[in-house]
Amino acid sequence: MSSDPQPSFSLQLSPDVREMRDWVHDFAERVIRPAAQEWDEREETPWPVLEEAAKIGLYSLDFFAQQWLEPSGLGTAVAFEELFWGDAGIGLSLTGSGLAAIAVSGNGTPEQIGEWLPQMFGEPGDVRLGAFCSSEPGAGSDVSAIRTRAVYQQASDEWVLNGTKTWVTNGGIADVHVVVASVEPALAAAARPASSCRRAPAGCRRGRNSASTGSGPRIPRRSCSTTCACPATAWSAARSGWTRGWLGSPGAAAAASRPR
Amino acid sequence: MKTFEASRPSVAAMAVGVARAALEFARDYARDRVQFGRPIGQHQAIAFMLADMAASVDAARLLTWRAAWMARHQVPFGQAEGSMSKLVAGETAVRVTEQAIQILGGNGYTREYPVERWHRDAKIFTIFEGTSEIQRLVIGRAVTGLHVT
């Protein structure tokens, strides 16, 4: 390692990144490109392609984590460019779990990360997805307008999510949904760390799949109406006084961003 | 929205991939397709379009790699460099895929060729993960130091 406190920017990709780029490109050229037109017309999630990618370790928590932590910082950018060179719709299917994973890994406790991230990817033969639920019918660019609430119920030691999400990549078919919700009223009342929830909560209703112009059709972007109860566990962000949180359903809670 | 800040260069890289696919396809087509007695790539009208496309794709990638590098090394986004990468890459993908259709002419407009699909796919990159307008808002605030609304 250099002792230079300011690391220098270089366009020279490391041998590891070059090797990874060629490996991803090969998959994009051999598997993704030839499948693109079919899945564009079918407007469905390309499960067989996900399965192929899982088989070689490309659709895996390990691969995405490795690129995210790649020392130069260019790993993820290089990998994604190659995947989307193959096809954007299939590319979004292969990377759609990433947003949910980033939300949990950026804000969750080590226990939450260890529990939920593997469930967002599964393994060969048992591929799984994660979904990040942020937009609402009345809250698109204006994220601060979200109305979904997470309310703590002391009697049952559960958090109840109530709201409607839309444009959810992998919505309704993911094993873990990370849901952006406000816990403000709950914090005022409960004044204790908030919570998380586990899979498949009763009361989560899947909405309609929106047909769209481009790459959307190959991944469900469903409206998802949610009223569900989630057993409470520790929620890291509430402890530091943040009042806006990620909560997950069927999967999990992650944490929070600061109030504006 | 920390999640979006961290993911912007990654989304920009996706858009660069779509744009590059269209650039390469249009370039190969322009070398092969003969009109007026020569490959259409020999006509300035087409070659200049390909020149703009190639320069735009490289510019978008450079902004993307800069932002990705800054994020990894915890260099603060003082000029909204993450948003710059997403803005330029998204707009580039839409423009370059549209130019690719133009180079392919009638063929580009049909579903017999992939470029019209790439154009449909590209449009989402100026909308999700922060619209181009939201990116300009973030960049505009960084550049002016004012609370632009």
- Interface confidence, given as ipTM, is 0.97
Name, of A107-116, A235-244, B31-40, the range with top average pLDDT.
B31-40
B7 against A233, higher pLDDT: B7
State what percent of residues in chain B have pLDDT above 90: 93
**Residue B73 in contact with partner chain A when CB distance is under 8 A:** yes
- Please report the pLDDT score of residue B34 as a whole number: 98
Name, of A45-49, A145-149, B29-33, the range with top average pLDDT.
B29-33
How near does any CA of chain B get to the CA of A159, in Å?
23
First to last CA, chain B: 17
A8 against A67, higher pLDDT: A67
Residue A190 has pLDDT above 50, yes or no: no
Lowest mean pLDDT among A146-155, B84-93, B114-123, B128-137: A146-155
State what percent of residues in chain A have pLDDT above 70: 66
Average of per-residue pLDDT across A70-75: 95
Question: pLDDT digits over A193-238, tens only?
Answer: 223 333 333 445 556 666 666 665 455 554 454 444 444 433 333 3
- Please report the pLDDT score of residue A78 as a whole number: 98
- Please report the pLDDT score of residue A150 as a whole number: 75
Is B24 one of the annotated active-site residues of the chain? no
Q: Residue A258 contacts by C-beta under 8 Å, 6 or more apart in sequence?
A: A242, A244
> Which three-class secondary structure state does DSSP give residue B131?
coil
For B78, counting Cβ atoms within 10 Å of its Cβ (0-12 exposed, 13-18 middle, 19+ buried), the class is: exposed
- Please report the pLDDT score of residue B9 as a whole number: 95
Residue in A closest to B18 by C-alpha: A85
Tokens of B113: 């060729």
**Residue B127 in contact with partner chain A when CB distance is under 8 A:** no
CB contact under 8 A, B131 and A216: no
* CA atoms A4, A9, A12, A18: torsion sign: positive
Tokens of A14: 């490391």
Residue B8 has pLDDT above 50, yes or no: yes
Alpha-carbon distance of A25 to A84, in angstroms, equals: 10
Residue in B closest to A244 by C-alpha: B1
How near does any CA of chain B get to the CA of A32, in Å?
13
How near does any CA of chain A get to the CA of B49, in Å?
20
- Please report the pLDDT score of residue A15 as a whole number: 97
Average of per-residue pLDDT across B87-98: 98
Residue in A closest to B111 by C-alpha: A37
- If pLDDT is split at 50, 70 and 90, which confidence band does A106 have? confident
CB contact under 8 A, A11 and B18: no
- Please report the pLDDT score of residue A68 as a whole number: 92
Backbone angles phi, psi at A13, to 5 degrees: -70, 140
Summary mean pLDDT of chain A = 74
Q: Could you tell me the CA-to-CA distances from A260 to A10, A26, A60 in Å, in that order? A: 36, 44, 35
Lowest mean pLDDT among A47-56, A219-228, B62-71: A219-228
* CA atoms B108, B113, B114, B120: torsion sign: positive
- If pLDDT is split at 50, 70 and 90, which confidence band does A191 have? very low
Residue A75 has pLDDT above 80, yes or no: yes
Residue A157 zone, left/alpha/beta (φ > 0; ψ -120 to 50; rest): left
Within 45-64 of B, beta carbons closer than 8 Å to A belong to 61-62, 64
- If pLDDT is split at 50, 70 and 90, which confidence band does A112 have? confident
- Please report the pLDDT score of residue A94 as a whole number: 95
